[in-house]
Structure 1
């Protein structure tokens, strides 16, 4: 540092393993992203609809991105790991598991531990041996410092110093929730300002969407995963709703439309993304009414890949009603709008299930790729009737991962303190309450669609 007065600054590396790439960011104590790197990871399809990835390839990509950041700024299976725990083991040599991955992805209970009878029932009683040594018998809350930090070998591969503290990890969506849900909202005119953090729902929207709500006491919500104790925010129970393939669905419908080549050419000519172009095209074709009203007779049920929450029915299919014979750019734009609205109605459906079970939610905190799309954000506000808070840093998953590193380093006394200091509100989008009646009607149609779909399959499977 320049002057003797200033103390040396601390920086944290957040690493996020997505479906197609590994991303890393250098984050400072104020939660600001100073540098970013990403590296694609390989996918194999050994047979149709079977997708495989390699943990060694993912670790190699983690090393590449971490090194890039460093340069920008100065025989039998012994263990079975979920990816977050595999990565922290590669970094530290410590086989401890994160409470997050064991509770959310395995059958571990934060209160009772493993259940012997479950493994015996499914014929995997070898896991019970040696006090569950193969699948984890030391379980730590996310953000806990692991062992003595980076091993010399891992430090060399990552381009960092040996002994750098490494935190027990989080699943990516949970890190996104951690990165947004604790933001200091004072001065933004939000109702959640005077409310407990349990009134906030974090929605992480990427290829798929996750809806993270926390509560002081366990709440069981049909069709929503959880409740998981301390799996995201220490001391709180987590409920996790989800929508399979949301970003992927928008891409699928837009790219499969006959007017897509024209859209691509026009967006490229304007140096815009296809979605920025579609959003401005919708503004162009709307008449006197708001953009949302263009879908008065076009309705979409978005479960092209089954329903995760709140119906938990993987047999459900997608539906579009109100198709016409024309296939021009206007039709593509309106189909895109109806799809975005359908995803927002799906979020409303999940929120209503959570509230019926005892959650009390007033404000949405959005992050992930789709939160960069203003239409997607506005539709979530209008359709749920709730304000939407966007983070200053869109890459909230990386901020959440860095928050864990900040805790492991001892710079903050708790995850909550790091959250309050490192997550910042960027923008607040308020709902257009005057459009509420229109969206309530569309929501009635939305619920009718799935009701009808179930009737169709009952007819077809009947005698």
Structure 2
């Protein structure tokens, strides 16, 4: 009998399931389930309470909906016998983090009127103040782990979000018996056992060299924070490991056989690397969507300024996994079209008009910080900037400048890696923005390097399916699975030398603005944010 696996990718607004043939990675069928609540950023559904600025939550029931609807729909569309499915694996946005009771019940089910009881989505940026204090204390004490995060922990990561809960809702923090990444919580619901995966523990939870930050450090942040590790600690499972077997309840949701392998949880970006056959040092994968995450493996440990994390075995066993990212990419384009233009022009039309221009023709340069800066400044108190607008500036001019700004942000990350001695030998793109050929060519020109592309529209789900095959024993490890099931097209976009020359000049202007507004030359962006929050109270 032909064997199949199912990969499930939980995104920001929806979840998708893909049925994959184990022998060759063929994607037989896909189904998508939109979250009923989407990303909760304005008001708490249970009460209508207006959320403060920079909040972003999700609803666990929406995630279960993906298992109930997308998985059986994909299997039905594939036209296969569910009994031929040997494993299931999942990936999640991260850090998406929630407080739960000891049995895994989300605290929001117990305290529906308390906003801190809900999962904080990856783009919840309201804990920047806590992140600033964590970073200052780590620097003053010389904590060795801080260098693994480029010198700064992001407000998106576990420590900042948890400290915000403790300080703003101590009763919620006390009631929470465990805090857990959504990537691990969904596996708990599938397999009936609590597991912690090595990827999120390292990148999002500050687990380095066998331990979390010390109790003394945590208590120095807050006297009641000393018990933090007891709420997250547990054995770490390797990526591709078998977390357990599908429970009868989860089998009823998904329509899959009870007892099949359930793989350990993983992060959407990191799981995409082997799907693109990026299993060797130097192969950088940029997962480009609402945000962009840059992941690559290296043979040696290196401290890279502004990295989201450097974790042993974090992507590929036996290698150091490097992660960087941009908190807004596709979201920025969407904001411009939907909010500023109020839907008056489509992405397709703006792309067509922008592509007709020559580099530099619009006379603009922008900073891609509309959702803060994840790398290399690690500062979500920053905001977007556009310079050079005149009364002659047209919507397509701004649209192109925003596309170019995100490419400049990626170049900053690549240069930070290479400046620290981590060679980038290949740039591979994945994610929804691959559909925009104009955007991809801009990136090739700005980076001055060829761009390969993943051979799948569902890279994270394919990567999860590959880990499911490993967990089920079909392949000995993820390298073998990648060789058989991964997909990549080499050097699809190559740089145009004349365009690259102009972009070098624009990038120099971007760098000047980047350092002026982001490294202390002028703190106006922080002052404006503080004023907004003051008058919004």
Normalised TM-score (structure 2): 0.73
Which of 49, 57, 65 does residue 70 from structure 2 map onto? 65
Q: Distance in 2 between matches of 1:137 and 1:451?
A: 41
Aligned mate of 2:332, from 219, 228, 249: 249
| Number of residue pairs aligned between Structure 1 and Structure 2 | 415
Q: What is the correspondence of 1:225-304 to structure 2 with a 5 Å cutoff?
A: 225-258=308-341, 260-261=343-344, 263=345, 274-283=346-355, 285-286=356-357, 291-295=358-362, 297-304=363-370
2:140 paired with 1:140: no
User: Does residue 1:403 correspond to 2:466, yes or no?
Assistant: yes
Partners of 1:366 and 1:348 lie apart in 2 by 14
The answer as to whether partners of 1:96 and 1:136 remain within 8 angstroms in 2 is: no
Match of 1:40 among 34, 37, 52: 34
Work out the CA distance in 2 between the residues paired with 1:85 and 1:76.
12
Cα RMSD after superposing both structures: 2.4
Indicate yes or no: 2:211 matched with 1:113: yes
In the TM superposition, residue 260 of structure 1 has moved relative to its aligned partner by 4.8
Which of 9, 17, 21 is 1:16 aligned to?
9
Name the CA shift for 1:404/1:204 in 2 (closer, same or farther; >3 Å): same
Contact 2:33 2:65 in 1 (8 A): no
State whether residues 275 and 373 of structure 1, in contact with CA within 8 Å, keep that contact through their aligned partners in structure 2.
no
Match in the other structure for 2:283: 200
Match of 1:430 in 2: 494
Residue in structure 2 matched with residue 77 of structure 1 by the alignment:
101
Whole-angstrom distance in 2 between the partners of 1:181 and 1:460: 41
Residue in 2 that maps onto 1:190: none
Q: How far apart are residue 150 of structure 1 and its match?
A: 0.5
Matches of 1:251 and 1:281 in 2, distance apart? 17
In 1, Cα distance between the equivalents of 2:184 and 2:407? Answer: 33
Q: Deviations over 1:150-200 (max 9, x none)?
A: 0122111211001111111211111223322438xxxxxxxxxxxxx2221
- CA distance in structure 1 between the partners assigned to 2:100 and 2:260 by the alignment: 30
**What runs of 5+ residues in structure 1 fail to find an aligned partner?**
1-7, 184-196, 264-273
Q: Is the 8 A contact 1:22 1:40 kept in 2?
A: yes
* Contact 1:169–1:404 (8 Å) recurs in 2: no
* SS of equivalent to 2:286: strand
Choose the corresponding residue for 1:353, options 381, 404, 416: 416
Distance 1:18 1:459 in 2: 29
Q: Distance in 1 between matches of 2:227 and 2:509?
A: 51
Match of residue 378 from structure 2: 312
Distance 1:32 1:318 in 2: 41
Q: Equivalent residue of 1:344, what SS?
A: helix
CA distance in 2, matches of 1:57, 1:338: 36
Instruction: Report the Cα distance in structure 2 between the residues aligned to 1:60 and 1:280, rounded to whole angstroms.
Output: 37
Pick closer, same or farther for the CA change 1:392–1:82 going to 2, 3 Å.
same
Instruction: Give 5+ residue unaligned stretches, structure 2.
Output: 45-50, 81-98, 103-177, 528-537
Q: Does the 8 Å CA contact 1:362/1:386 hold for their aligned counterparts? A: no
Q: Describe the SS at the equivalent of 2:361.
A: helix
Give the superposition deviation at 1:371: 1.8
Deviations 1:126-160 (A, max 9, x none): 455xxx4x52422111110123x101221112110
